[in-house]
């Protein structure tokens, strides 16, 4: 988990109960980020979009927070989701936007 973000309690509990899994996931995430030329903001927007596509509310929350921490603006986050309408559908994007709005409200 990236510094500066607070993970959900369930995630923290599972990771503390399974430290080997936690270390392996952290190492994999680090290796994936270092593997290519994408910056952190772009990587988080991509991961948020993928989370929206699988309707994972918690992951959309998490990656929206991380995208903001990496310098994304609320407009960039919303635009990344709008771009998905023709791919994953209007209702799915509207759900993801509502989850992003949860994050934006807490940020204020």
> pLDDT at position 3, please?
45
CATH superfamily of 39-107: AhpD-like (1.20.1290.10)
Query: Quick one: residue 11, left, alpha or beta (phi over 0 = left, psi -120 to 50 = alpha)?
Result: alpha
3-state secondary structure of 72: coil
Q: Are 53 and 41 in contact (CB under 8 A)?
A: no
- What does the alpha-carbon distance between residue 29 and residue 107 come to, in Å, rounded to a whole number? 25
> pLDDT at position 107, please?
76
Q: Which two tokens stand for residue 92?
A: 């799915």
Task: Give the DSSP per-residue string, 16-45.
Answer: HH-HHHHHHHHHHHHHHHHHSS--HHHHHH
> How many C-beta atoms surround the C-beta of residue 17 within 10 A?
9
Question: Does residue 57 surpass a pLDDT of 90?
Answer: yes
- Residue boundaries of the structural domains of the chain: 6-36, 39-107
> pLDDT at position 5, please?
64
Q: What is the pTM of this model?
A: 0.86
Question: Does residue 30 surpass a pLDDT of 60?
Answer: yes
Average pLDDT over residues 14-39: 96
Average pLDDT over residues 24-38: 95
* pLDDT tens for each residue of 59-80: 999 999 999 999 999 999 999 9
């Amino acid at each position: 988990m990236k510094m500066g973000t607070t993970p959900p309690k369930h995630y923290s509990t599972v990771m503390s109960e399974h430290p080997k899994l936690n270390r392996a996931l952290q190492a994999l995430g680090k290796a994936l980020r270092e593997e290519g030329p994408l910056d952190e903001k772009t990587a988080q927007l991509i991961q948020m979009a993928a989370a929206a596509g699988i309707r994972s509310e918690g992951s959309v929350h998490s990656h929206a927070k991380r995208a903001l921490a990496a310098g994304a603006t609320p407009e960039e986050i919303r635009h990344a989701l709008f771009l998905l309408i023709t791919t994953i559908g209007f209702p799915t994007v509207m759900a993801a936007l509502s989850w992003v709005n949860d994050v934006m409200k807490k940020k204020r």
